[in-house]
């Protein structure tokens, strides 16, 4: 019975993997089909984000920062 359980799990895992791959491929194709929409979303993100990394950097530096040794 344990053998059957294991084969069932393996089969289910393979199915999930296949589904995931199919979904990823579909998303990828969708992104290829709509390049302008994807690009505009990326720009919106890059416009909204620049403040955040800088604030994080200042935070780390004021705390004696983990990042400062990496920076020249």
The reply to whether 66 falls in a domain is: no
The reply to whether 72 falls in a domain is: no
pLDDT in tens, 4-44: 999 999 999 999 999 999 999 999 999 888 765 545 555 55
Q: How many domains does the chain have?
A: 1
The reply to whether 70 falls in a domain is: no
The reply to whether 31 falls in a domain is: yes
Instruction: Supply the range of the domain harboring residue 13.
Output: 2-58
37 Cα distance to chain centroid: 18
pTM of the model: 0.39
The reply to whether 71 falls in a domain is: no
The reply to whether 9 falls in a domain is: yes
The reply to whether 10 falls in a domain is: yes
Distance in angstroms (rounded) separating the CA atoms of residues 10 and 28 = 27
Distance in angstroms (rounded) separating the CA atoms of residues 28 and 19 = 14
Residue with tokens 């705390």, as numbered in its chain: 63
């Amino acid at each position: 019975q344990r053998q059957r359980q294991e084969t069932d799990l393996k089969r289910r895992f393979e199915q999930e993997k296949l589904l995931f791959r199919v979904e990823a491929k579909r998303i990828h194709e969708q992104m290829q089909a709509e390049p302008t929409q994807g690009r505009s979303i990326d720009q919106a993100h890059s416009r909204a984000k620049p403040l955040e990394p800088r604030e994080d950097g200042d935070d780390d530096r004021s705390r004696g920062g983990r990042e400062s040794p990496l920076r020249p």
